[in-house]
Structure 1
């Protein structure tokens, strides 16, 4: 499982990196970014889905 953020949709609400700091961070302007290659470690699948469900712009996608 991998996650990605569509930078065109992200509005910088920060919910992804607040809910899943092991998967997401923020860039210099406060927009969400995926940490590393987006691979979700074993046991963090629920956290990834929580971040997806809480993104108001639906900018996060599970691959």
Structure 2
């Protein structure tokens, strides 16, 4: 999972920092920034997903995963690429 934080949309509610403070530190004015790599470790995905879903201004989004190379199990039954959904 990779994420993006749109700082122009952030209104400083701090919800993301409450859920995942190691990924969303707040500046002196209470606005969030993205700490480190936008790639989220699997063990941090639940907290970051909760931050994404609870952001009142939708400033956090997921980035598309790169497609696997052709011939390396790039499709599932039915011939479609596997999709990843975020379930609240």
TM-score by length of 1: 0.87
Q: Highest CA radius of gyration, 1 or 2?
A: 2
TM-score by length of 2: 0.65
Aligned-residue offset at 1:22 = 2.1
Aligned Cα RMSD in Å? 1.1
Count of aligned residue pairs for this structure pair: 63
By percentage of residues, which structure has more strand? 1
Partner in structure 2 of residue 10 of structure 1: 10
Unaligned 5+ segments in structure 2 are: 64-88
* Structure 1 runs, 4 residues or longer, greater than 4 Å off: none
